[in-house]
Amino acid sequence: MDEELRPLKKIECTNINERGLSMLCDIVLIFKQIKDILKVEIIKKWNVNKLIKYNIVMPIIQYTDKNNKTGSLNVSEFPDECPMCHKGIKPILFGKAFWSSINAKMQAIFICPREECYRVFIGFYAEAMGQYFLSHLRPINIVEKDFPDTIKSISSNFPKIYNQSHGAEQLKLDEVCGSGYRKALEFLIKDYLLDQTKDEEEKKKIKKEFLGQCIKTRIDNPKLQLVAERATWLGNDETHYERRWKDKDIEDLKNLIQLTVNWIDTEQLTKEILKDMPKGKIKSESNQSLEEKKKNQELENK
Ligand SMILES: [Zn+2]
């Protein structure tokens, strides 16, 4: 029989030595760890009831209340990002947390373990169905988003309004940050259009027109027009009583604003390059062949 077609010899394990047993234990342990990792990933998507049902182990926080009564509570998690330096961390829990029986809220003091930061912050935990969940962290060092120079030179208001909304979002003011992003978008589009014309009458019209109308009739770049139009749809949802795009949220709006920024930036950079390099360089006349001279003459006449 062909060597390759011969069936594999059945391995019979009748005797396992100490080394083999140790290897087998290692393999079992690895499988257990993989199973545990997968379980942790899965529980992130589960609801509170399932968490309780499957009795997943949670961190414990020791607390004291206003009457100096002490106790301990399981909490959903410790913060995994420092609100001051915004780096991923395993925070140091400082002393006992404070628990209030009136609103069933707990405040735990944490310290960022990073040497460069080492700042204190408070984790606020709220009770839901008998469990304590991390609701927010304070104080927060608000992170500002930076925009390309092309955008800043077209609109000084856009980065300012955008970052005020971004700050509101980080402070969990989620009912107002969306309308701020919508305002930022309007300033970006209108300032971009104002930058395209020198006609004062046109400028007055642009300032007065609805944003949707400006996008539809005044933007020539079709890709920019498409993304700006969609950003406006989602932006309007943030200011209207009834939401039309129920499956979209603030992240989708921010992505569309970012795409609008990218298209304007690309267009501006292209304009600058073409202004700087309007046509190809011509070889000095003495080095040109007769045919090259003829070609260059033709190019110049075009
Ligand atoms: Zn930190």
What is residue 288's predicted lDDT score, i.e. its pLDDT? 63
Which residues sit opposite 64 in a β-bridge?
70, 98
User: Same domain for 133 and 174?
Assistant: no
What is residue 36's predicted lDDT score, i.e. its pLDDT? 57
Query: From the CA of 1, how far away is ligand 1's center (Å)?
Result: 69
Min mean pLDDT across 131-135, 164-168, 235-239, 295-299 is at 295-299
Residue 16 has pLDDT above 80, yes or no: no
Query: From the CA of 117, how far away is ligand 1's center (Å)?
Result: 5
Residue 39 has pLDDT above 70, yes or no: no
Query: CB–CB of 213/193 below 8 Å?
Result: no
What's the chain look like in SS3? CCHHHCCCCCCCCCCCCHHHHHHHHHHHHHHHHHHHHHHHHHHCCCCHHHHHHCCCCCCEEEEECCCCCEEEEEECCCCCECCCCCCECCCEEEEEEEEECCCCEEEEEEECCCCCCCCEEEEEEEEECCEEEEEEEECCCCCCCCCCHHHHHHCCHHHHHHHHHHHHHHCCCCCCHHHHHHHHHHHHHHHHHHHHCCCHHHHHHHHHCCHHHHHHHHCCCHHHHHHHHHHHHHHHHCCCCCCCCCCCCHHHHHHHHHHHHHHHHHHHHHHHHHHHCCCCCCCCHHHCCHHHHHHHHHHHHC
Encoded tokens for 221: 């770049």
Q: What is the mean pLDDT of the chain?
A: 84
Query: From the CA of 258, how far away is ligand 1's center (Å)?
Result: 28
Domain holding 245: CATH number?
1.20.120
Long-range CB pairs of 41-49, under 8 A, 24+ apart, other chains included? 48/128, 48/129, 48/131, 49/129
What is residue 268's predicted lDDT score, i.e. its pLDDT? 94
Query: From the CA of 118, how far away is ligand 1's center (Å)?
Result: 6
Task: Give a yes or no: residue 158 inside a domain.
Answer: yes
Which domain covers residue 87, as residue numbers? 60-138
Query: From the CA of 145, how far away is ligand 1's center (Å)?
Result: 19
Burial grade of 193 (CB within 10 A; 0-12, 13-18, 19 or more): buried
What is residue 26's predicted lDDT score, i.e. its pLDDT? 64
Task: Give a yes or no: residue 111 inside a domain.
Answer: yes
Residue ranges near ligand 1 (ion) with Cβ within 5 Å: 82, 84-85, 112, 114, 117
Task: Give a yes or no: residue 248 inside a domain.
Answer: yes
User: Same domain for 162 and 263?
Assistant: yes
Domain count, the chain: 2
Digit-coded pLDDT (tens) for 76-135: 899 999 999 999 999 999 999 999 888 889 999 999 999 999 999 999 999 888 789 999
Residue 47 has pLDDT above 80, yes or no: no
User: Same domain for 185 and 114?
Assistant: no
Single-letter amino acid, residue 59: P
Query: From the CA of 122, how far away is ligand 1's center (Å)?
Result: 12
User: Same domain for 163 and 232?
Assistant: yes
User: Same domain for 185 and 263?
Assistant: yes
User: Same domain for 93 and 172?
Assistant: no
Query: From the CA of 107, how far away is ligand 1's center (Å)?
Result: 18
Task: Give a yes or no: residue 190 inside a domain.
Answer: yes
Query: From the CA of 116, how far away is ligand 1's center (Å)?
Result: 7
User: Same domain for 73 and 129?
Assistant: yes
What is residue 273's predicted lDDT score, i.e. its pLDDT? 94
Residue 53 has pLDDT above 80, yes or no: no
Task: Give a yes or no: residue 50 inside a domain.
Answer: no
Digit-coded pLDDT (tens) for 126-161: 988 878 999 999 999 999 999 999 999 999 999 999
